[in-house]
Structure 1
Amino acid sequence: MIVAMPRVLFKQLLKALSFCFFLTISFTAFSAIRLPNIIGSNMVLQQKSETAIWGWSNPSEKIYITTSWNNQKDSVVADGNAKWKLNLKTPEAGGPYTITLKGENSIVLDNIMIGEVWVCSGQSNMEWSSLQKLQQIIDEMPNSQNNNIRLFHVAKTTSPYPQDYVEGSWKVSGPDALKGFSAVAYFFAKELQQKLNVPVAVINTSWGGTPAETWTPAEKVNSSDVLAKSAAMQKTVPWWPVTPGYAYNSMIYPLLNLSIAGAIWYQGEGNTVMPFTYGQLFAEMIQSWRAAWKKDFPFYYVQIAPFNYGNNNVGNLIREQQAKVLNLPKTGMVVISDLVNDVKNIHPTNKKDVALRLANYALAETYGKSLTSYKSPMFKRMDITGNKVNLYFDNAANGFKLNAGKAATEFYLAGPDKVFVPAVIKIEKDRLVASSPEVKNPVAVRFSFSNGGMSNIFSKEGLPVAPFRTDDWVVDTSKVK
């Protein structure tokens, strides 16, 4: 005899069965192999290196990974935290390749290239793109299709703790991919790709306005009384993070398993609130990145452009601090004081030449290409003969030239009274000679040592002389009247 089941009991049984089915489906979905976005189709892996593939799955799940460049099958077992990581050895540049992952599910990553991978970071001048109506990149977009250039844009996010995941996806260079992507990063990649003839990837992880503290591990900032005090002077704003480590945790840390060729950096304007400590902070940031990546990779950066800040001398003090960081090995600084057409605009529109100067540094220093000139003349030493000061420079073997005008500008001379007056400059083959009828006993020289200083003197090869001063006197940083 069949007994009819009460309607209420039937509904309860149906709910229970539905819930069990949901759990089964959910368990299957969440136990599948999962990858971070930085590992995906269209990516570039650093050539001739050991780089990682990593992700999540069921704890203790065995995952088989096959790479088509050598048809080798490797395996890895997820740990108790459902995480796994496998290091792969990459060949010389080439592609496209596939990477196949098999466990309880399968994933095939395709259109993978092997080549050069660069991290591009900083604030708005690195971030600037077509979204800001930057004409150079808008003009470039119709001609930007290139399977050997790959772009990854890291979405803006913060965290008080290190993260494993970033928002973003790998894209093949082209008009759509280039919308909103860093102009400096793209032009840098394009020049490297053309000169090296290998695939090049650039990972843009930048955020306008951010101070260097937020790109530096918090413990590195907070363990230094000087840096902690400087960080405390950053004012909280609605548009970007200022807390030490917050951008590092969420926009740098998730990239650390990737092998990279190096990094480029365009930042400094966000630290004019306390410029005197920037050199220490910047050096700490670079060294902490290298330690985290376990590699002393090259780090090339842009000296901030001339701009009329609201406080006296804060811009030139940042530039001075940036130059001091060249004491770190495998660093390089490009000077862009000539690439500005409006010192009232903190975002110079010429991003292409900035990128080309960074690329030339990488081509010469990282890739050993023979370039006639890629470094700006840098002040080396001086000596005094009577009322004249002889100024000697590195990176000026062929001498100097004026790009406009009959006299070099932005040179100032002072005697023991510390009063600076405009200097007359005579160009000699191996030096510059500074003098002034107003200074009988000169003791100090300053060049382009002002917020908006732009000079007309260059190396014979056309690179601007880097700003400098020979004194260490107290500098006024009060508000501009």
Structure 2
Amino acid sequence: MIRIPLQSVSALLVLILQPFAYGELKLPHLLSDHMVVQHDQPTHFWGWGEAGETVSVTFGEKTGSTAVEEDGTWSLEIPPPPAGGPYQATIQSQSESITLKDILSGEVWVASGQSNMAWKLDRAQDSKKHIAEADLPKIRSFKAPKTIAYTPKDDISSTWRVASPNTVAGFSAVAWFFAKEIHETQKVPVGILQSAWGGTYVEAWTPFPVLKKINPKLQAPATTSEFTPEERDAILAQYETVKHIQDPGNRGALLGWQLNHFDDKDWPEMTLPGSIEGEGHAVDGAFWFRREVKIPPNWKGKDLILSLGKIDDYDVVWVNGVQIGETGPKDEDPWLIERRYTIPAKVIAKSEGQPILISIRVFDRYGIGGFTGKESDLFLKPVEPNDKEKAISLTGTWKYFFETQSPDLSQSSIIGTLTNHPNQPGVLFNGMIHPLLPYPIRGAIWYQGESNAGHPEEYATIFPAMIESWRELWKVGDFPFFYVQLASFKDPQNIPSEGGWALIREAQQAALLLPNVGEAIILDAGEADDIHPRDKVTPGHRLALQARKTVYGEDIPFSSPYLQSWETEGATIRLHFSPVYEGLEVPKDSKLDGFAIQGEDDTWYWADAKIVSPDTIELSHPEVTAPQAARYAWANNPRANVTNSEGLPLSPFRTDR
């Protein structure tokens, strides 16, 4: 970039002595040498200058001009030159001129998310080979630095990098393989706007006003100016002592809070499912829930199932004062476990026609605490119901009370600010997405969700809302948005239905209800012991397939198969899928694996599965005479080996959603 002052020598000396004087003609860092602009959209030039001055822009063979507003900003659009280049742009005020060189016109894509999108090419599988082959100067990357902001930023400091073996080591590996395939198949330059940060939540990438509409009780991030140094030190010291609190013991049970005769008339009420934080309590600790439930007379003498969904973190459950189950520190990832406890018939018999009392002690040691499942997860029913016996919903009003509590500083906007934490609501959107919004793009690719795996229900709402908000604010229409479904991870599946990451993968698919959204399924590219699979070619390629088909109009296979419909016939379940192209397949000499079938007793069995037509699979099991539901790849690291004829993995699913 060349800057040429047009003033006299004396004025030039003033500029040299005061290089950042008010009114200086300035451009955002995005508008700089080597940039790639979207070839079929007006090129947006904007910046800052002296109020009232005229700014003119010449780009290629087109010229435009505008006046600097009173607030010192200016903005104008110039028709884009044809795809290709290089081109030059000159931005000129009455006192200065800036020349941008080596500009290409092509396809511009945003690459965002957490660590698997940020993962550098030099840490990917076969990195030396890929770096050596990276002499592709028509691919360029603008990498947004990690930036937390409490209000939307208008600029972010970075530069465009031209791809070569000397520069691509730090490129996002997934974005690189995506861009390389688009460049090679579409024969156009490609620019990547990389904006990713490892370990981050979707909430951080979503505008705060959008999150506030979803959760009106959400706290806005604080600002550091609100605290003195002494206050800051004191708050952080307290945070270190309580951020992972330990259970001091069950005082509530000693006080009889689980017993029918205990008077809870002074306890407040809240709606379940829900979290304590959702009720406006920024606390961790032990809190109790109580509710009376009237059961039908014909349930007498029957064992019952009490389903509570997921609880964060630990719980102990009593019915009529009798402990019937608990989930605690000895359980792996207890906040991901869907609670289902059996209530023995003899416990119900004590009610003698009166409502039964359900008492639950929840201990939350860190972060969100409470009932985090869906409404349909809370119910009571007989273990062996007949056709007329419907489950009793336990959603709605419960009594609750705190046994012990400590400030949940992890949820505090104050702690987020003072620790400069990137997972505060909206702060990465403010700092790393908002500065990009004026720049026209073709679309976005996204690889994120690992950090939100513990709360799939919230993700299913926030993720689509984030996409819609980006589209609204970018003002280039419903641009294509393609994401990577989370890869297989953790111990291989050994029971028919585990849940875990299957739930966050399902939550990701809520975004498929939006227009122009596509998914790259990579169950076959994960690593059991590494959340960062080194194979970044597969996600990059499958994202590119989505773009090549739906954006660039190539007549190619591009999608994994998805469950379209299903029906039961006798003791079998018949499942239909699309797109299968030439048909569903498994590896040579392999049996279909990863399917589960549910019997009338709610037990899940590994299904005997067979392909009966190119797009249809039948499931059965000797122990199941009346199948209730089917699932596939329903685990963190599932047994899954079915693809379509193009080798694209079958999507995980469940019919009992």
TM-score with structure 1 setting the length:
0.88
Asked if the contact 1:151–1:177 (Cα under 8 Å) also holds between the matched residues in 2, the reply is no
Structure number with higher helix proportion: 1
Change over 3 Å in CA distance of 1:23–1:46 after alignment to 2: closer
- The question of whether the paired residues in 2 share the 8 Å contact of 1:32 and 1:57 is answered with yes
Structure-1 residue corresponding to 2:24 = 32
Choose which of 437, 455, 467 in structure 2 pairs with 1:256. 437
Aligned partner letter, 1:452? N
The question of 1:415 aligning with 2:599 is answered yes
Rate the CA distance shift 1:437–1:40 in 2: closer, same or farther, 3 A.
same
Structure 1: distance between partners of 2:621 and 2:550: 39
Give yes or no for the alignment of 1:300 onto 2:482. yes
Find the counterpart in structure 1 of residue 507 from structure 2: 321
One-letter amino acid of the structure 2 residue matched with residue 121 of structure 1? S
Does the 8 Å contact 1:423/1:434 carry over to 2?
Answer: yes
- Tell whether 2:56 aligns with 1:64: yes
1:124-135 aligned within 5 A: 124-130=115-121, 133-135=123-125
Q: Which residue identity lines up with residue 537 of structure 2 in the other structure? A: K
CA contact (8 A) 1:209 1:240 kept: no
The answer as to 2:450 corresponding to 1:265 is: no
Aligned 1:269-284 pairs, distance under 5 A: 269-284=450-465
User: For structure 1, which runs of at least 5 residues remain unmatched after alignment?
Assistant: 1-20, 473-481
Q: Conserved in 2, the CA contact under 8 Å of 1:155 and 1:205?
A: yes
Whether 1:399 aligns to 2:595 is no
Superposition deviation, residue 32 in structure 1: 2.5
Q: What secondary structure is seen at the aligned counterpart in 2 of 1:161?
A: coil
State the SS of the aligned residue for 1:401: coil
State whether structure 2 residue 358 is matched by structure 1 residue 367: no
* 3-state SS in 1 of match to 2:180: helix
Counterpart among 410, 419, 439 of residue 624 in structure 2: 439
Task: Give 1:451 shift.
Answer: 1.1
* Equivalent residues of 2:483, 2:543 under 8 A apart: yes
Task: Check the 8 A contact 1:163/1:253 in 2, yes or no.
Answer: yes
Q: Is the 8 A contact 1:210 1:240 kept in 2?
A: no
Partner letter of residue 458 of structure 1? T
Give % identity.
Answer: 37
Higher mean displacement: 460-469 or 134-143: 134-143
- The alpha-carbon deviation at position 314 of structure 1 amounts to 3.2
Cα deviation, residue 263, structure 1: 0.4
Aligned length: 446
Please tell me the residue identity of whatever aligns with 1:285.
M
Q: Which residue of 333, 339, 356 corresponds with 2:525?
A: 339
Q: CA RMSD in A?
A: 2.2
| Cα separation, 2, equivalents of 1:405 and 1:307 | 25
Deviations 1:99-118 (A, max 9, x none): 01122121110110111100
Partner of 1:186: 176
Pair 23,206 (structure 1): closer, same or farther in 2 beyond 3 Å: closer
Q: How does 1:458-477 map to 2 (within 5 A)?
A: 458-472=643-657
2:83: which partner in 1?
93
Deviations 1:78-98 (A, max 9, x none): 111111111111133121100
| 1:31 CA drift (Å) | 3.0
After TM superposition, the structure 1 stretch with the greater mean CA deviation from structure 2, 452-461 or 154-163, is 452-461
Residues of 2 paired with 1:24 and 1:140: CA distance? 44
Contact 2:633-2:653 within 8 A present in 1 as well: yes
TM-score, normalization by structure 2: 0.65
Query: What are the equivalent positions in structure 2 for 1:17-56 lying under 5 Å apart?
Result: 25-26=17-18, 29-56=21-48
Contact 2:111 2:196 in 1 (8 A): yes
Amino acid at match of 1:331: V
Deviation by residue 1:425-459 (Cα, 9 ceiling, x = unmatched): 11122300000001111010010001111411111
- Kindly indicate whether the alpha-carbon contact (under 8 Å) linking 1:227 and 1:281 is maintained by their aligned counterparts in 2: no
Tell whether the 8 Å contact from 2:125 to 2:536 is kept in structure 1 after alignment: no
What is the CA–CA distance in structure 1 between the aligned matches of 2:585 and 2:483, rounded to whole Å?
25
Deviation at 1:400, TM superposition (A): 1.2
Structure 2, unaligned stretches of length 5 or more? 1-12, 219-273, 279-366, 369-409, 492-497
- How does 1:344-355 map onto structure 2 within 5 Å? 344-355=529-540
Q: In the alignment, residue 465 of structure 2 is paired with which amino acid?
A: E
Shift of 1:179: 2.5
**1:115 maps to 2:106:** yes
Deviation at 1:282, TM superposition (A): 0.5
Q: Using the alignment, how far apart are the partners of 2:198 and 2:20 within structure 1?
A: 41
Q: How do residues 84-233 of structure 1 correspond to structure 2 at under 5 angstroms? A: 84-103=74-93, 104-130=95-121, 133-225=123-215, 228=218, 233=367
